[in-house]
A = this chain, B = another copy of it.
Amino acid sequence: MRKYGIFLLCVMLMLIIASPVLAQDQDPIANLKVGLDTVWVLFTAFLVFFMNLGFGMVESGLCRVKNTVNILAKNFIVFAIASISFWVIGWGLMFGNGNDFFGLQGLLFASGADNSPAMGDAYQGAYSAISWTGVPLWAKFFFQLVFAGTAATIVSGVVAERIKFLSFIVFSFILVGIMYPITGHWVWGGGWLAKLGMWDFAGSGVVHSVGGWAGLAGALLLGPRIDKYRKDGSARPIFGHNMSTVTLGALVLWFGWFGFNPGSTMGVGDGSAIAHIAVTTNTAAAAAILSSTITAWLVLGKPDLSMIVNGSLAGLVAITAPCAFVSVGSSFIIGVIAGVLVVFAVLFFDKLHIDDPVGALAVHLVNGTFGLLAVGLFAQDGITGTATGNGLFFGGGFKLLGAQIAGVLGIGVFTFVVSIIAWSIIKAIMGMRVSREEEIRGLDLGEHGMEAYAGFQVFLNQ
């Protein structure tokens, strides 16, 4: 209500009369807006939650029948662990006001919304780094929680078929409660990487590469599965026991990624950004499927289904950071590269005798890293409204790419080093690997005292 000019009497009248009109109008609209944004944030969070099913099915299906219960149990319990540890400490470390390295305010037992006025960001400003979205605190918390849970499930795949159940649980608690939130604070909590101008829209780096680095540390300390590598150094193929659940899991993950990426707007706006992101996400996945299928066909001689499946995930991981910053055409190219990368990365880790039973390092570590770099290469300033600056291929020079490389290194060094330390302590205190006998007989009987498929004739001595 500006520039009234003269005619004061009339104006005052106007104001008196207009005030209820304004009050009536603005409140319901603001209310509707925050309601709509909350619906969007919650639904996309539900989809991301659902990815727990996808990871559980992909990981268990790609492993042997004798370890199925163990992998399912790990994947099931890990989100419970994440829910508690992120509530107790993780959220505060990640989004609490603090320094460039971690949060210091509102640290323990995320709360405030219960007693706060109903709408918006009214929890005393303890979490101002995430005040750009106006949804209620618990919606923000829940959305970030399902992301944190994802990082831990990635580790599960890398250390599968040989880790002790309890050791995995303890590591997951540390990862989600402490390590993940700290690097998360650097990028999404207003920390030093954010200040450097590094961008990771939905978490190629913050979520996927973190899970990958933590898993890599675990795999190195655990060593490969018995008989995985032959005396001549070649890798023995170990086939998954259930390609139906693997395919199911991959489609659930793809479905869930429509929450992961478009949901990371944490608001609806006029709909154009979320629609754009849905299409870049899908296009990268499709392109990666085609390129991984062709690559596998050429390199391995047949279109291997596990490579096709991992191709889709590679494309999805790679587009996660840049999905809101690149055009649909660029998302196609990013997907094509991701699909080629994943096939060679699987072969590469086997060359190094780093045993990655389900290809999680090839998918999440390699393509999570590639996704961060892709922002520096393909970004177009403001394409969905964010001022990232342009990437190298669009005339922005090395500025953005440099920040992205800093992000790759910062996240990687921290997460890898701290993971090595954490795993080592766990190894010293409670042990890390099951016994040779248990590994041969299967972790289902050893850790859980049950079989996955009672009534079926199965072979445990694969």
CB-CB under 8 A from A28, the residues of chain B are 29, 33
**For the complex, what is the distance from the CA of A251 to the CA of B47, rounded to whole Å?**
12
**For the complex, what is the distance from the CA of A303 to the CA of B272, rounded to whole Å?**
47
Known: A36-B268, A57-B244. A83 touches B42 (CB 8 A): no
CB-CB under 8 A from A79, the residues of chain B are 286
Q: Please encode chain A, from 243 to 283, with 1 for each CB lying within 8 Å of some chain B CB and 0 for all others.
A: 11101101110110010001000001111101110110011
Known: A245-B244, A275-B142, A459-B457. A50 touches B17 (CB 8 A): no
Contact A46 B45 (CB under 8 A): no
In the complex, whether A22 has a CB less than 8 A from a CB of chain B is yes
Known: A84-B287, A282-B142. A450 touches B304 (CB 8 A): yes
**For the complex, what is the distance from the CA of A25 to the CA of B46, rounded to whole Å?**
32
Contact B73 A119 (CB under 8 A): no
In the complex, whether A68 has a CB less than 8 A from a CB of chain B is yes
Closest to A293 in B: B77
Contact A304 B138 (CB under 8 A): no
Which one, A2-10, A359-367, A423-431, A433-441, is touching chain B? A2-10
Closest to A288 in B: B80
Closest to A315 in B: B80
CB-CB under 8 A from A232, the residues of chain B are none
Known: A275-B113, A452-B243. A34 touches B270 (CB 8 A): yes
In the complex, whether A207 has a CB less than 8 A from a CB of chain B is no
Q: How far is the CB of A462 from chain B (nearest CB, A)?
A: 6
**For the complex, what is the distance from the CA of A240 to the CA of B287, rounded to whole Å?**
32
In the complex, whether A1 has a CB less than 8 A from a CB of chain B is yes
Contact A136 B275 (CB under 8 A): yes
**For the complex, what is the distance from the CA of A439 to the CA of B264, rounded to whole Å?**
46
Known: A28-B29, A80-B290, A239-B454. A244 touches B305 (CB 8 A): no
Which one of B11, B66, B305, B452 lies within 8 Å of A448 (CB-CB)?
B305
Known: A21-B21, A241-B455, A244-B245. A275 touches B383 (CB 8 A): no
**For the complex, what is the distance from the CA of A245 to the CA of B56, rounded to whole Å?**
11
CB-CB under 8 A from A37, the residues of chain B are 271
In the complex, whether A100 has a CB less than 8 A from a CB of chain B is no
**For the complex, what is the distance from the CA of A330 to the CA of B115, rounded to whole Å?**
14
Q: How far is the CB of A357 from chain B (nearest CB, A)?
A: 13
Contact B304 A448 (CB under 8 A): yes
In the complex, whether A150 has a CB less than 8 A from a CB of chain B is no
Closest 4 CB pairs of A and B: A38-B271, A83-B286, A239-B454, A139-B275
